[in-house]
Amino acid sequence: MKLFVYLISFILILALTGLFVLKKPNGQAWFTVDDLLPNASVIDEEIKSIAGKLLVVYENFTTEENSQVEQGGGG
């Protein structure tokens, strides 16, 4: 059983490293190191997008809360 696990692990590692070596028909590798590293600008855009959405939700929440307080206090 131990030999089977080693064999499967070796085949898996060989298959993953093969993606760095084998080429597509256009001459580029199937997988490059750049594919492993995230693009910093994409991450920054996602963070800004999420922060903007949270800010809108927070503003709507505080506006609704203030209007409920004003309605309750005026009655």
Task: Judge whether 29 and 20 are in contact, CB under 8 Å.
Answer: yes
Task: Judge whether 11 and 4 are in contact, CB under 8 Å.
Answer: no
Average pLDDT over residues 13-34: 86
Task: Judge whether 23 and 31 are in contact, CB under 8 Å.
Answer: no
Angle, alpha carbons 63-67-69 (nearest 5°): 120
Asked if the model's pLDDT at residue 75 lies above 60, the reply is: no
Alpha helices in 1-75, H assignment, sequence order: 2-21, 33-36, 40-74
Task: Judge whether 22 and 29 are in contact, CB under 8 Å.
Answer: yes
The predicted model scores a pTM of: 0.43
Name the more confident of 18 and 63: 18
Asked if the model's pLDDT at residue 14 lies above 90, the reply is: yes
pLDDT of amino acid 65: 61
- For the chain, the average pLDDT equals 82
Name the more confident of 65 and 63: 63
